Amino acid sequence: MIHPLAYVDPQATIDSTANIDAYAVVMGNAVIGAHCHLHPHAVVYDHVAMGDHCEVFPGAVVGAIPQDLKFQGEETYTIIGDHCVLRECSTVHRGTASKGKTVIGSHNLIMAYSHIAHDCVLGNHIIMSNAVQLAGEVMVGDYAVLGGGSLVHQFTRIGAHVMLQGGSRVNKDLPPFATVGREPITYAGVNAIGMRRRNFTQDDVETAHAIYRIVYQSQQTLKEAIDNIEQTIAPSAVRDEILAFLRASERGIVR
């Protein structure tokens, strides 16, 4: 399953069911899981662990050293789950001493020309549209959809089930279940359509609406809004996820 014109380092571990096309490159001690497919001119560097059923398209580069001047050649990693697709010319860089690894979960679609910088942590079922750019140490929650050409500042957190408008410039945390866009970037409502598609109930949707009315319309500080939510909104998985995100925000949330 390895084309004779591919280059595979003898130290690499390639599952017997993987396909490595002509001119693809697998370097060092990389690990390629079952039923993966590396298209021509895909490059996987050392210290990469790729799960099963992943597909890397031409020109994509996985596990290159970070574009961080503090990087001193330390041994760091790139970890990718199962069923991930990295389209043409997308790039994923390995970690630095900060976290030691860049992590991408499972069932993610990383479209062409997108970039995932050092020490980012991505969950599962994420869609990054064409040319999304994640700076270092960004965190993205499950089922987030990032519109094409979006720019995300380092250390920013994007919550689960967020829908981000294409072309956005993100410099604050985006709370879970939110739709975010416009210029300058702002909260635009609850991602009700996305929630229903993922089998959240109407009560879950209404809970998110009620919480964000407090956060964005009550004229309270974030701390006051969190206290208000705890006192007035019944406990639920949606409420608790939003509260945990708000409490952990260090950059502040989008307004």
Supply the residues annotated as catalytic.
118-119, 136
Query: From residue 101, how far is each of 46, 116, 138, 215, 235 by CA, in Å?
Result: 13, 12, 12, 34, 34
Q: Are 54 and 84 in contact (CB under 8 A)?
A: yes
Q: Are 122 and 140 in contact (CB under 8 A)?
A: yes
φ, ψ of residue 41 in degrees (nearest 5): 70, 10
φ, ψ of residue 208 in degrees (nearest 5): -60, -45
Q: Which helix or strand (DSSP H or E) is residue 212 part of?
A: helix 202-217
Query: Distance between CA atoms of 94 and 175, rounded to whole angstroms?
Result: 26
DSSP state of 72: -
Q: Which helix or strand (DSSP H or E) is residue 39 part of?
A: none
Query: Distance between CA atoms of 30 and 243, rounded to whole angstroms?
Result: 39
Determine whether 151 is exposed, middle or buried from the number of CB atoms within 10 Å of its CB (0-12, 13-18, 19+).
Answer: middle
